[in-house]
Amino acid sequence: NAGVMQNPRHLVRRRGQEARLRCSPMKGHSHVYWYRQLPEEGLKFMVYLQKENIIDESGMPKERFSAEFPKEGPSILRIQQVVRGDSAAYFCASSRMGGTMNTEAFFGQGTRLTVV
């Protein structure tokens, strides 16, 4: 659904640089999910946030990755000191209700990160 906006669409970073991926959820949605799609694989859950809170980060790598969803502004997925293995498509989804009450998540177009 075009309502979830992700930017940039494509991001190229050199090894060791930082990558910042942004996601603006659909209007009225306060639940945001980040997924990563590695080549030839399905989407893997990374983190689930509500406004100003991280609810579930069980899929997030323990180092170099962080996410936030401030009171104002988009959700940010931040990857520090990127490595080649971070190259992937990162998708954001939002929903009106969250967690086990999630009935439908709407996805953005994704950010394709390439680490060179």
Partner 1 sequence: AQSVSQHNHHVILSEAASLELGCNYSYGGTVNLFWYVQYPGQHLQLLLKYFSGDPLVKGIKGFEAEFIKSKFSFNLRKPSVQWSDTAEYFCAVIPITGANNLFFGTGTRLTVIP
Binding status of residue 44 toward partner 1 by CB under 8 A: yes
Binding status of residue 69 toward partner 1 by CB under 8 A: no
Between 30 and 59, CB nearer to partner 1: 59
Task: Tell me the one-letter amino acid at 33.
Answer: Y
Peptide bond into 8 cis (omega under 30): yes
Stretch that binds partner 1, among 14-22, 34-42, 60-68, 78-86 (CB under 8 A): 34-42
Binding status of residue 28 toward partner 1 by CB under 8 A: no
Between 21 and 105, CB nearer to partner 1: 105
Residues 6+ apart with CB under 8 A from 50: 30, 31, 32, 69, 98
β pairing state of 88-95 and 53-56: unpaired
Binding status of residue 100 toward partner 1 by CB under 8 A: yes
Token output for 77:
């997925």
What CA–CA distances, in Å, run from 99 to 38, 50, 84?
24, 10, 32
- The residue from 43, 60, 79, 88 that contacts partner 1 (CB under 8 A) is 43
The answer to whether the CB of 81 falls within 8 A of the CB of 75 is no
Q: How far is the CB of 16 from partner 1 (least distance, A)?
A: 29
The residue ranges that bind partner 1 (CB under 8 A) are 1-2, 4, 33, 35, 40-45, 48, 55-56, 59, 91, 93, 98-100, 102-110
